[in-house]
Amino acid sequence: MPTNEELYSEADKLKDSGDLEAAAAKLNELLAQDPNYALAHSALAVIYTRLRQHDEAIQHALKTCELEPKDAFSFTALSVTYQRAGRIPEAEDAMARARMIQGGH
């Protein structure tokens, strides 16, 4: 069975080659193996955003924040995901959380 890192690397190569659907499938395969692999959720948020599958993107961005609650970048990425989905109030809330984490509050 391939490691999480091997699956992630395969997905990254697929994404770089422009095959977003295959990259998403590979990342979902990784998550079937390890549902708490935060980097895979983060990557899926980006891929699903690029595919304009905003609900799926938001769910993965939220999961990333759940798994990495003290990581300001995760909340910044969530904000961008919300922005691209046209959900501005949620984007502002996520950015405020990122700033709070960065400020140590």
Return the ∠ at Cα 30 (arms to 24 and 32), rounded to 5°: 105
The helix-helix angle for 38-50 and 20-33 (nearest 10°) equals 150
For domain 4-103, which architecture applies? Answer: Alpha Horseshoe (1.25)
Phi, psi of 3 (to 5 degrees): -75, 165
pTM: 0.94
Reported as a single tens digit per residue, the pLDDT across 49-65 is 999 999 999 999 999 99
Helix, strand, coil percent content, the chain, rounded in steps of 5? 80, 0, 20
Please write the tens of the pLDDT for every residue from 26-82. Answer: 999 999 999 999 999 999 999 999 999 999 999 999 999 999 999 999 999 999 999
Domain spans in the chain, listed from the N-terminal domain onward = 4-103
